[in-house]
Structure 1
Amino acid sequence: MTQRSNLPLDHALRMLGMVARMYRWAEARAQARPDQDLSLRQLSALYGIRDGISSPGQLARRMGVTPAVVTGLIDRLQQRGYVRRDADPNDRRRFRLSLTESGLAVGDALGQALGEELAAQFENISKTELESLGRTLLLMERALSALEARMPTSLPEGAGEADDS
């Protein structure tokens, strides 16, 4: 007797494998660019701040890392002149994160370069295939949004502490 395929699970496992491969590719390409000095995790931090996250705790939750990891990321980004720590006007013990002009520029430049390199892989596919890809991406975005909405608000001790240098 043949077992029936579980297409949703098959697709989910395939998607997880693709996400891992995409991350490895993007990290390698980001590191290979002589005009950039950002890791993919640092780029993610810049994007989070650009999107309105202003506290280190919020950034840690969005990135799925511990506050200690975010502190190291912010230290390195601040040393490079990409991020500012400004005093929180409501609580002097806290600070708010903001991008500098060069932080915004370097993040946008690296994101654009990675996007263009990936887009080049789709230049020779048909309009129908591009439209199908668009629908697939929409489904993936919906699934990820639903999963993110159910994410825990805090991480287990030691989670996400890989080096990002």
Structure 2
Amino acid sequence: MEASEAMRVNRALNKMSKLYRVAKARKLAALGLHPGQDVLLWLLAQEPGGMTVKELAGRLGIEPPTATRSLARLESGGWFRREAVAGDRRQVRILVTQAGHALVPAIERAWAELAEEAMGETSEEWREIALTTLERANDRLRGIVGDDVLAEE
């Protein structure tokens, strides 16, 4: 790849990453969430029996202390509750409350709106090409840096 093309690719990906993050943050702020909290709450809501902090951290690809900090930031919203795990005082199970479940459709709508806004009037064929290209690039980068880098997404 020539230097000018490499610069163009780098500039486009960096801009997209920053712009997407800001746009997502604005949509989530309207829901009282920060980027990353949406994924955490959505993931928890998919498990009717809840998850331990360790299980949640594993699913998110983060360390348990990071999951604990993220949960602490979310706690004031009343979107989940903690229950002791029978037989293990060190463990707590995180369960989404009715208020948390009520927020999930709004999170999914925000994601859908952002995807639609980002892709615009792009045809289905071009969307598929763009997504396939981005997914392949992600796979190649994941092979270089490993899975643990994408803890928030």
TM interval, short-chain normalised = 0.5 to 0.7
**1:72 offset after TM fit, Å?**
4.1
CA distance in 2, matches of 1:143, 1:50: 31
Question: Under a length normalisation based on structure 2, what TM-score does the superposition of the two structures give?
Answer: 0.67
- Which residue in the other structure is 1:134 paired with? 131
Q: 1:51 to 1:16 in 2, by over 3 A?
A: farther
**1:39-118, aligned counterparts within 5 Å?**
39-50=34-45, 54-60=51-57, 62=60, 64=62, 67=65, 70-118=67-115
AA in 2 matched with 1:24:
V
State whether structure 2 residue 21 is matched by structure 1 residue 18: no
Query: Which secondary structure state, in structure 1, belongs to the residue aligned with residue 51 of structure 2?
Result: coil
Whether the aligned pair in 2 keeps the contact of 1:44 and 1:63 (CA below 8 Å) is no
CA distance in 1, matches of 2:141, 2:56: 18
Identical amino acids, percent of aligned pairs: 20
CA distance in 1, matches of 2:83, 2:3: 54
**1:109 offset after TM fit, Å?**
0.9
CA distance in 2, matches of 1:8, 1:137: 16
Whether the aligned pair in 2 keeps the contact of 1:85 and 1:95 (CA below 8 Å) is yes
Question: Under a length normalisation based on structure 1, what TM-score does the superposition of the two structures give?
Answer: 0.63
Query: What residue ranges of structure 1 are gaps of 5+ in the alignment?
Result: 153-159, 161-165
CA distance in 2, matches of 1:102, 1:30: 16
Q: 1:55 to 1:114 in 2, by over 3 A?
A: same
Q: 1:48 to 1:20 in 2, by over 3 A?
A: farther
Query: Which secondary structure state, in structure 2, belongs to the residue aligned with residue 38 of structure 1?
Result: coil
Whether the aligned pair in 2 keeps the contact of 1:54 and 1:98 (CA below 8 Å) is yes
> Across the two proteins, how many residue pairs are aligned to each other?
147
**1:58 offset after TM fit, Å?**
4.8
State whether structure 2 residue 119 is matched by structure 1 residue 125: no
- Please state which structure has a larger fraction of its residues in helix: 2
CA distance in 2, matches of 1:83, 1:147: 36
Q: 1:135 to 1:79 in 2, by over 3 A?
A: same
AA in 2 matched with 1:22:
Y
Q: 1:23 to 1:88 in 2, by over 3 A?
A: same
